[in-house]
A and B are shown apart, each in its own frame.
Chain A
Amino acid sequence: DVKVTQSSRYLVKRTGEKVFLECVQDMDHENMFWYRQDPGLGLRLIYFSYDVKMKEKGDIPEGYSVSREKKERFSLILESASTNQTSMYLCASSSQVDDLFFGPGTRLTVL
């Protein structure tokens, strides 16, 4: 059974903390993505990566950075968390075709 896993389902952090969200896929996919999902705004792309050590900005990259040191792992980093980064974070991966496979999501609350 193919899988995308995320390190935490729920996370609570304080303003100013550094936050790491980890995502691992076991499908040998080239492409990996980080989205955030907010009510009324749908899924918005933060960053994506199409190869190891490669990264591209999505639609809302401000306040975030990413790391892709290994093909199977894509990390999202909040250097200094703020309350407006409270959201559901979804990781996804895909091969050269269009189909995305999503992880279960991490619900992050920043106090």
Chain B
Amino acid sequence: TQLLEQSPQFLSIQEGENLTVYCNSSSVFSSLQWYRQEPGEGPVLLVTVVTGGEVKKLKRLTFQFGDARKDSSLHITAAQTGDTGLYLCAHNIKGAAGNKLTFGGGTRVLVKP
């Protein structure tokens, strides 16, 4: 099993500040996904990164896939209270029985007003 380590586990910041969360592994991935889960809801896909060194932007969120495709980061600029949630990275394991996603432990982000 390829493990995904996310750091930090918990992050509390004031509205307007920037933050970065990380997803690391010792294995190379063909692609990596980031999800956000708000309290009381299921995770929602934010982005999929595929190419080493790739950078994708989603409004104030910037996602980067490491050159070696072993790690990824999510940077939020000028965080808002609506960014509060659990951020999960995941990678797809393609097997004979079908595809399945394996998740990291998540980073819980709290943006205070």
A contact residues, total (Cβ < 8 Å): 27
Inter-chain contacts of B98 with A (CB < 8 A): 31, 48, 50, 56
Contact across chains for A105 and B103 when beta carbons are under 8 A apart: no
Least distance between A33 CB and chain B CB atoms (Å): 7
Q: How many A-B residue pairs have CB under 8 A?
A: 62
Chain B contacts for A44, CB-based, 8 A: 103
Contact B41–A105 (Cβ < 8 Å): yes
Q: Is the beta-carbon distance between B44 and A43 smaller than 8 angstroms?
A: no
- Determine the distance from Cα of A44 to Cα of B101 in the docked complex, in whole angstroms: 9
Q: How large is the interface on B (under 10, 10 to 19, 20 to 34, 35 or more residues)?
A: 20 to 34
Tell me which residues across on chain B come within 8 A of A33, comparing CB atoms: 100-101
A-chain residues with CB within 8 Å of residue B1 when the two chains form the complex? 59
B113 at the interface (CB under 8 A from A): no
Q: How far is the CA of A8 from the CA of B49 in the complex (A)?
A: 33
**Min C-beta distance of A98 to chain B, whole Å:** 5
Write out the residue numbers on chain A whose beta carbons fall within 8 Å of the beta carbon of B105.
40-42
A100 lies within 8 A of B97 (CB):
no
Chain A residues within 8 Å of B41, by CB: 104-105
Closest 8 CB pairs of A and B: A102-B42, A50-B98, A42-B105, A43-B103, A56-B97, A98-B92, A42-B103, A102-B43
